[in-house]
Amino acid sequence: MSLPPVEGSSPWDAAWTSPEPSRWTTSSRSSPRPNANDCARSPRSATRTPVSAERVVPLPEAVRRAGAALAHLGLTPDLVDMGEGREPAAWHCRLRGPDGVPAPSAEGMGKGRRAEARAGALFEALEHYLTGPALFDPAAVEPVEPARIAAGPLRADASAVLLDGRCAAPLACNRYQGPGGAVPVPLFLSAPWYVEADAARLRERAGDAHDYTGLMRYSCNSGSAVGVTATEALLHALNETIERDALSLLLVRAFLGTGERPSVVDPRTLPPELARAHAVAGQVTGAPVHLLDITSDLMVPTMLAYVAPTPDRPHRRGAGTSLSPAHAAWRALTELVQTTVGERIQRRGDAERLARYPELLACGRFDLTEHLHAARTVPFPEDGARPGRPRDQLREVAARLGARGYAPLTRTVAVLPGWITAVHVVVPGLERFMLVVEGNLVLPGPRGRAAVRHAVRAGDGC
C-alpha cells in the first residue's frame, strides 16, 4: 500500500498549518469502525470526561476519518470488549488485511468510556501498523556512522555510551526535524521490530549490517503517535515522552538513590468522575490503588496509578500526562484498568532477568511498598486554567520543554487521507530508563544519573 510521500516534511509545520476548526459537520450516527483517540490511547470525552479535550475534532468525526483511512489501507478491525461491560472500559483491536490475515504489528488497546475505548484501541492498532514493518521503506533510511550519532544531539541518550569506536558498521537512520535542521536518528530507537532476529531481511534490504545485540535493549516505540492532524499526534507523542521520563526518574530516585518519598493523592479529594474511576480500578485489580503525583521538573502534570506487587504477581501501573491534572489522573487510572484486563493477552517482560544486578532488579520489580509507608499525602491538584485547543496545548508543552533546555526532534511517518497523521518524537536528554521494568538491562542516561546524585546530596530518604 503506497502512502503520500512525507520524507523531509516537518510535523511541526503541519501542526501550525493543518485545519483546526471550532465546528465540524458530523453524522448523527457513528461509523461501525470506531476510532477516535490519538495513538497514545487516551480517554477524552467532550461532555462527560472531567477535562478539556485533547482532540482536534469531535469523536464521531474522528471515527469517520479513521474508517476512511482503514478503507484506504484495505484493513478491517476486530474489536473486543476486554472489560466485560464495565466503565471505565478497555477494548482490544486487531486489524486484518483483505485476506483476513492479521496485519503485522496491527493491534492495540484503548481505555476510557465505551466509545472512547473502542476508538482508542483502533487508533493504537493503526499507529502500530503505520509505524511497523508493513510499511517499512528501505529507501527512506540512510547509513550514519555511530560516532556521528554519539557526538550529535543524541549524545545525552543512555544508549550513546554503546556508540563508540568499537561500532564500525553504520546505523540505519531516519531524518528528523529539529531546531537547527535535519538530524539523523537511528531507527532502532523507535522500532523494536527492526532489531528482532526475524527482521534480518528488512535490515538486508536497507543495507544495514550493524550488530544491534547490545543496542536492542534500548529500543521502544515511546513517542509514536497517530492523530487526526499533526497537531493532535504531536501533542500526544510529547505527552507520552514526558510521561515515560517522569516514570524513569521515579525509578532511579526510589531504587538507585537514597530513596524516593512519593506524593500520594488523598482519594477523598478526587473529583466525582475520578473517584469512580479510582473505585473501578480497585475492583478490577483487587488491590489498593495508589494515585501518585510524579510530575517532574518539566512541570507538565503526570500521574501514576500504582498497585504494589505480591508474591504471586508483579506490580501493576497506569500513567498519564496532560496539562490538565484531571486528565492526567484519568489517563493513569483508566490505563491501570486497561493493563490489568490486558494481562490475559499481553505478555509482560520478566524483571527477574536482572537477577545478576540487584539494584536494577529492584528497579525492575518496582516495589514501592516501603516508600509508600513514608509517602506524603497530598490533595488532588486544582486544574487551574483549563487547557485550550490542542494547538495551544502543543505550544505550551513545547515551551515548558524549552524552558528546561529540551528541544524535540520530530518526524512525520505517514499521512493518510483525511489528515490522519502518524509521527514519532524524540526529545534528546529525556529518560527511557522505564524499560528496566520489562526486564531490559538498561542504565539511566545523564538526566537520570543527575537525579540520583541530587537525591543523595539532599538526603531524600524514606
**pLDDT tens per residue, range 82-96:** 988 899 999 999 999
How many residues does this entry show for the chain? 462
Domain ranges of the chain: 71-135, 142-218, 238-408+424-460
**pLDDT tens per residue, range 256-284:** 988 778 999 999 999 999 999 999 999 99
Domains 71-135 and 238-408+424-460 share a fold: yes
CB 447 within 8 A of CB 247: no
Mean local confidence (pLDDT), 45-50? 36
| 81: its cell numbers | 470488549
Q: How many CB atoms lie within 10 A of CB 249?
A: 27
Model confidence at 211: pLDDT above 90: yes
In the chain, DSSP finds a helix count (H) and a strand count (E) of 12, 14
Q: If you compute the radius of gyration of the chain from its CA atoms, what whole number of angstroms results?
A: 21
| 415: its cell numbers | 499521512
User: 22: Cβ–Cβ under 8 A, 6 or more apart, which residues?
Assistant: none
CA distance 351 to 360: 9
Q: End-to-end CA distance of the chain, in Å?
A: 55
CATH for the stretch 238-408+424-460: 3.30.160.660
Q: How many CB atoms lie within 10 A of CB 1?
A: 10
CATH for the stretch 71-135: 3.30.160
**pLDDT tens per residue, range 279-297:** 999 999 999 999 999 999 9
Model confidence at 249: pLDDT above 90: yes
**pLDDT tens per residue, range 126-167:** 999 999 999 999 999 999 999 999 999 999 999 998 886 666
- Hunting for cell 493518510 — which residue is that? 416
Model confidence at 367: pLDDT above 80: yes
CA distance 459 to 367: 21
CB 448 within 8 A of CB 250: no
* pTM for the predicted model, two decimal places: 0.89
54 — pLDDT class (breaks 50, 70, 90):
confident
